[in-house]
Structures are given as structure tokens and as C-alpha cells.
Amino acid sequence: MQGIRALVFDVFGTLVDWRGGIAREARALLAPHGIAIDGEAFADAWRAQYQPAMEDVRSGRLPFSKLDALHRRNLEAIAAAFGLGSLPESARVELNLAWHRLDAWPDVSPGLHRLRTRFRLAPCSNGNISLMVDLARRNGLPWDAILGAEFARDYKPKPIVYQSAAAAFDCDPGQVLMVAAHSDDLAAAARAGLRTAFVARPDEKGPGRGEVRASAPVDIEVTSLLELADRLGCGKA
């Protein structure tokens, strides 16, 4: 991996457990309203709205809107099916911020601290800046900058999102390693000229329902950010 100067990261699924976190937050927030839900089914349903909502922006049908705003629209789309019809506005606002309160996988903070000793680091996520900031503070993620969709004003897998992250760090795309648990994200990054690292998150979408191996050509495959730090020669933080 000669010539790599910066690492950029997918976040949902790659660094943080969106399914477990949304399930936990939704159960806890809805119980006082007398609403009992299957938290994991709710998380899956909410996440299922994610790509179609972003496609409205990518296609130009909708001007760029922060992911928080798309999440809120998506919440309304599934609310009736989960019995949330009478949930007051203040609780909907709070529930929508559940995405700001997700937990990182255990290797993420120590791995990033090691990687930071040799490389510039930023998220390259579809999540908005304030969402990334809250996840960073909650989980101790030592970002140099918050790049990705809100900076690019468009959504992955559009090439500008990857390329604008490289440009912000004064890098050619080939000097940046995109790290993700999703082969489609990495394939798009590679098409945009970046190098790619696959990190396995086999339980991301429920037990055994994450990607174990990359299904697209990648430059490195690892099972954790600690292994990535080893492979890239990053010692103690």
C-alpha cells in the first residue's frame, strides 16, 4: 500500500452497529408511550428506506438534504406499520436522533487511534456532519475532518463524494484508501480512483447477515481495524 496518505471510512455498519443501536433506542423511547415493538424489525424497516430516499437526491428529484432529514421522512413512511401513529412530535424528533447514538464496534476507536499515527482520517459517510460529530464524541473517533455526503452535497455511490474527500486532503484519489464493510461501496470508490479495504462485519444486519468476504476486487481484506493497522504498519497510538 505504498503512497497512501489518507484513510476514509464508511460509518453505518462499518464502524457503528446501526441495527443494534436503533433497536435499543427505539424500544427505550417508545416504551413510555405504551408502544412495544420488535426493535430489530423496526431498525430493518427504517434502514430499508435508506437507499430509495438518497436516490431522490442522487437523481436530482430532491435538492441535497441532510441524512437526518431523509431519516425523518423515512420514519414517517414506516410509522403507521409499527403503531407510531399517535406518537407526539417531540418523541419523533428524539427517535430520529437515535442515529446519533449508535455504538462503535469494539475495535474501532483503538484501531483509528493507531491508524491516525500515520494517516489523515475522515469519515466518508452518507451521514451528515452533526451526526458524524455525535458518533465521534460518543465513541472516541479521532477524525481530522468530517468529509462525505454533506461536504460533497450528494450521496454515495456518486463519485464526487469519494473524490471530494480526497481533494479536501490534497490527495489524488489513488493516495486515499476507502474502508468499508460493503462491497458495493468499495466498488464505487474504486471506480472513483480510490484504493479499497474491506473490513468484515459478518453480523451487521443480524447474526450471519453481514458480508464476510468482499464480493468485488479490493486491495486489502481484514476482519477489524486493528488488523488493518497491523497491515499498514501502524504501531501504538
CB of 144 to a copy of itself, least distance (A): 5
Cβ distance to a copy of itself smaller for residue 133 or 200:
133
Burial (CB count <10 Å: 0-12, 13-18, 19+), residue 78: middle
CB of 170 to a copy of itself, least distance (A): 4
List residues near a copy of itself by CB under 8 A. Answer: 68, 120, 128-130, 132-133, 136-137, 143-147, 150-151, 168-170
Cβ distance to a copy of itself smaller for residue 82 or 119:
119
CB of 145 to a copy of itself, least distance (A): 4
DSSP, residue by residue, 171-189: --GGGEEEEES-HHHHHHH
Cβ distance to a copy of itself smaller for residue 147 or 218:
147
DSSP, residue by residue, 22-37: HHHHHHHHHGGGT---
Work out the end-to-end distance of the chain between its first and last CA atoms, rounded to an integer number of angstroms: 20
CB of 77 to a copy of itself, least distance (A): 22
Cβ distance to a copy of itself smaller for residue 129 or 218:
129
Nearest by Cα to 191 from 170, 163, 153: 163
CA dihedral sign of residues 34, 103, 190, 168: positive
Euclidean distance between CA atoms 100 and 91, whole angstroms: 15
Cβ distance to a copy of itself smaller for residue 99 or 198:
99
Cell numbers 486491495 label which residue? Answer: 219
User: Taking a C-beta distance cutoff of 8 angstroms, is the pair 222, 198 a contact?
Assistant: yes
Cell numbers 450471519 label which residue? Answer: 208
CB of 211 to a copy of itself, least distance (A): 29
Alpha helical stretches, state H, the chain = 18-30, 39-48, 50-58, 67-79, 89-96, 108-115, 129-139, 149-152, 159-168, 183-191, 225-231
Cβ distance to a copy of itself smaller for residue 207 or 235:
235
CB of 200 to a copy of itself, least distance (A): 29
